[in-house]
Structure 1
């Protein structure tokens, strides 16, 4: 499985963006819409985006695998956000200056507390030993997913720390279209970021599982290639999302040769998401847990449910049921 860029920060849009005073299609209660212009972002040009590897942008929540107390652990995304007073000051500054530049933060007093185990994401800037917020006023970071924390129960369902494995969705080895649900050692995923998708994540765009039998899995970032992606051109991309069956995705993430990540989201182009059956959900899938499937039968979480399905093939990912 090709190992590509780790998602630790907000990824810039492939086009320069503009803000429209209208209700967001992506976020409820947000009274503005970030839309793409037709001008390619200089960051994308500098990174030679035309030669980049295009992968599917997935609609879930970002996770990270790293050591915790000496053991490979799954970490959940937790951005440190400003408290109410600081947020009001920040919004006033944005409204007055039409920009967040030159806003002065007091990092020790302006931000909500986070668990002691919280760590800042890679490449977060520091000042006087403290991580400082990005242009959105957030400090991206991570917390370890512990079984005792019910807030992250869906994250917990895809890992077994005793066995040291995670439930992963990835492309099949010998079939371009086939997806494979498998268990991978957390140690093999260390330092990678992944997307948690499933029944109780972000409205379940891929139609996985049900309320009675929720299904979740991890998808390594950059692991689902986009076949025959269009050139980086506003109109061509918009048409591709609307008319091409391969375009039934939330967006594209380009992995550039210098490590830069660039993205486009359907909402940037004024398009709905989801809009009918998604490309990922319609692909065939197979459960391949190998010879260890017997050991997984007594596992906590979803591995025990998938164990009896070992070797079973489904015509569509969204048809996977226990």
Structure 2
């Protein structure tokens, strides 16, 4: 799973929030193409053939860890980052992944978000760790497609953000925090 670009350009010289300028390659969203789904706030992982993997972004010039599986054929030409996967182990760093996976080992192949008490501030106020499938994320077929309307919709919703999925496989995202809106929201 490649790094998903943000829909709008970020003001890196100012407040680091997005501005009303679309990132190259994401214009299809404003043209009404693709399906909007909830962006789940967790840690990305993958199940393949009954094994759990965590996302591992290989930095430019760094060697691949043992067993690393590339998610893309080559590193990003601009940043040099190369997303991929490493198998979950018995180390303490992977204990929350193991807890969630052990609770439901019958999950099908696919990508998931690890969520729970020790992940990303526990935005969903869970008492146990779990894996939430990207495939089953809530869909929003009528989600707005303009800068102001997207900001207003996210202001009203209790979700981290939106990921658009194009039929050809492209994806694009936007988060509440991109507009300076708080996340998590205390009412979640």
**What is the TM-score with the length of structure 2 in the denominator?**
0.87
Match runs of 1:303-318 below 5 Å: none
Q: Is the 8 Å Cα contact of residues 157 and 216 (structure 1) preserved in structure 2?
A: yes
Partner of residue 69 from structure 2, selected from 102, 105, 119: 119
Q: Is the helix fraction higher in 1 or 2?
A: 1
| CA 223–76 in structure 1, closer or farther in 2 if over 3 Å, else same | same
CA shift, 1:114, in A, is 4.3
Structure 1 contact 55–222 (Cα < 8 Å) conserved: no
- Highest relative contact order (Cα 8 Å, sep 6+), 1 or 2? 2
The gaps in structure 2 that reach 5 residues or longer are none
Runs of 4+ in 1 over 6 A off after TM superposition: none
- Aligned partners of 1:79, 1:231: CA distance in 2, in Å? 31
In structure 2, the residue matched to 1:135 is 78
1:74-113 residue CA offsets vs partner (Å, 9 max, x unmatched): 101122225xxxxxxxxxxxxxxxxxxxxxxxxxxx31x4
Give TM-score, length-normalised by structure 1: 0.53
Alignment correspondent of 2:3? 10
Q: For the structure 1 residues 134 and 124, does the alpha-carbon distance in structure 2 shift closer, same or farther, using more than 3 Å as the test? A: farther
Q: CA deviation at 1:15?
A: 2.1
Q: 2:161 aligns with which of 251, 261, 283?
A: 251
Q: How far does residue 49 in structure 1 lie from its aligned partner after superposition? A: 5.5
| Aligned ranges 1:101-250 → 2 under 5 Å | 110-111=61-62, 113-121=63-71, 123-125=72-74, 132-133=75-76, 135-146=78-89, 148-160=90-102, 167=103, 183=104, 185-186=106-107, 189-190=108-109, 192-209=110-127, 215-227=128-140, 229-242=142-155, 244=156, 247-250=157-160
- What is the aligned length? 188
Work out whether 1:61 is the aligned partner of 2:11: no
Deviations 1:33-86 (A, max 9, x none): 2x222133442234676132111101110001124xxxx20101122225xxxx
SS in 1 for 2:178: helix
Larger Rg, first or second structure (1 or 2): 1
Aligned to 1:19: 12
2: CA distance, partners of 1:47 / 1:235: 14
CA distance in 1, matches of 2:39, 2:114: 12
The match for 2:52 among 74, 93, 98 is 74
What is the deviation of 1:20? Answer: 3.0
Within 1, Cα distance between the matches of 2:121 and 2:31?
31
RMSD: 2.2
